[in-house]
């Protein structure tokens, strides 16, 4: 079973739009996240959360739960923001999306609610797709959530860059993984040579790339079929407890 672990899905990119691309690539499962613009205003660096945005975010996250209830092989992730709503954890999400880019509104990592949420995430064994700047990535993994299962997307491209993350040593940690979305075959090959197939997870970052194109990067690698199976589905199935 091939699972695309990095799919954006919401009002702007509805599930019905995604399905044909997955079918064309022969992909049977998907981990889905709400689009950023349904979670916070990324264009306002001084953005402050409001009840209206909290409602919008809750609706975006729960849209994914509804899809998962009626479609086999869909694994919804909870996109968290500064309300750090622990109650949402209990609604059936299979993972967490933690995301911001440089220049965007920031997470309040000093908030006690943030620490409580991290504790709940670890308690429920939910993998975190963590996309943040380089200093916050290191702080999160080394200090705030050292026991969490963390997947760094794009082989670190938006977390400071592949070579910076590689040099930091955090991929050596037992519970830190990478996803392959938007990474080059050169970076993928370097990662596999250094860390092995057990640490890499396939993703496409649809709609920013096509599942078929990202899949070819993995299927064309000069590695064993058993290692391809780990990357394309085995590893994420293990992390999700499937």
213-238 residue pLDDT tens: 999 999 999 999 999 999 999 999 99
Look at residue 58 in the predicted model and tell me its pLDDT: 96
Look at residue 121 in the predicted model and tell me its pLDDT: 98
CA angle 20, 24, 28 (to 5 degrees): 85
Q: Supply φ then ψ for residue 79, to 5 degrees.
A: -85, 115
Label residue 189 by pLDDT band (50, 70, 90).
very high
Residues 6+ apart with CB under 8 A from 207: 8, 13, 17
93-139 residue pLDDT tens: 999 999 999 989 999 999 999 999 999 999 999 999 999 999 999 99
Look at residue 83 in the predicted model and tell me its pLDDT: 94
Rounded to an integer, the average pLDDT of 35-64 is 94
Look at residue 137 in the predicted model and tell me its pLDDT: 98
In the chain, beta strands by DSSP E: 3-8, 29-33, 74-79, 95-99, 128-131, 150-152, 176-179, 200-201
Handedness of CA 101, 102, 104, 109 (dihedral sign): positive
Contact 27, 3 (CB under 8 A): yes
Q: Which of 211-236 are b and which e, b meaning 16 or more Cβ less than 10 Å from the residue's Cβ?
A: beebbebbeebebeeebbebbbbbbb
Label residue 3 by pLDDT band (50, 70, 90).
very high
Q: Which domains does the chain have, with CATH numbers?
A: 3-240 (3.20.20.140)
157-174 residue pLDDT tens: 999 999 999 999 999 999
Pairing mode of beta strands 95-99, 176-179: unpaired
Look at residue 32 in the predicted model and tell me its pLDDT: 99
Look at residue 23 in the predicted model and tell me its pLDDT: 97
4-27 residue pLDDT tens: 999 999 988 999 999 999 999 999
194-214 residue pLDDT tens: 999 999 999 999 999 999 999
β-bridge mates for residue 23, sequence order: none
| Percentage with pLDDT > 90 across the chain | 97
Look at residue 82 in the predicted model and tell me its pLDDT: 96
User: Could you give the CA distance from residue 177 to residue 190 in angstroms, rounded to a whole number?
Assistant: 14
Look at residue 17 in the predicted model and tell me its pLDDT: 96
- Give pairs for 115-118: CB < 8 Å, separation 24+: 115/144, 116/84, 116/86, 117/80, 117/84, 117/85, 117/86, 117/89, 118/144, 118/145, 118/148
Eight-class DSSP state of 12? S
Residue scoring higher pLDDT (95 or 48): 95
Look at residue 165 in the predicted model and tell me its pLDDT: 98
66-75 residue pLDDT tens: 999 999 999 9
Look at residue 7 in the predicted model and tell me its pLDDT: 98
Look at residue 233 in the predicted model and tell me its pLDDT: 98
User: Could you give the CA distance from residue 156 to residue 152 in angstroms, rounded to a whole number?
Assistant: 6
Look at residue 61 in the predicted model and tell me its pLDDT: 98
């Amino acid at each position: 079973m091939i699972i695309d672990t990095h799919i954006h899905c919401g009002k702007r990119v509805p599930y019905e739009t995604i399905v044909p691309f997955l079918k064309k690539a022969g992909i049977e499962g998907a981990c889905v996240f709400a689009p950023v613009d349904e979670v916070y205003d990324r264009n306002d660096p001084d953005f402050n959360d409001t009840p209206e945005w909290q409602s919008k975010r809750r609706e975006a996250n729960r849209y994914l739960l509804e899809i998962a209830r009626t479609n086999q092989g869909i694994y919804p992730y909870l996109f968290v923001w500064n309300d750090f709503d622990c109650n949402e954890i209990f609604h059936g999400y299979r993972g967490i999306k933690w995301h911001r880019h440089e220049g965007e509104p920031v997470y309040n990592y000093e908030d006690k609610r943030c620490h409580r949420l991290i504790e709940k995430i670890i308690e429920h064994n939910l993998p975190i797709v963590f996309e943040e700047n380089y200093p916050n990535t290191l702080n999160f993994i080394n200090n705030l959530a050292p026991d969490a299962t963390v997947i760094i997307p794009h082989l670190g491209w938006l977390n400071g860059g592949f070579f910076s993350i590689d040099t930091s040593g955090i991929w050596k940690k037992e519970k830190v993984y990478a996803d392959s979305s938007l990474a080059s075959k050169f970076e993928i090959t370097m990662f596999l040579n250094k860390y092995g197939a057990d640490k890499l997870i396939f993703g496409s970052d649809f709609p920013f790339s096509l599942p078929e194109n990202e899949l070819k990067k993995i299927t064309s690698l000069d590695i064993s079929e058993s290692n391809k199976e780990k990357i394309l589905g085995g590893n994420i199935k293990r992390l999700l407890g499937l």
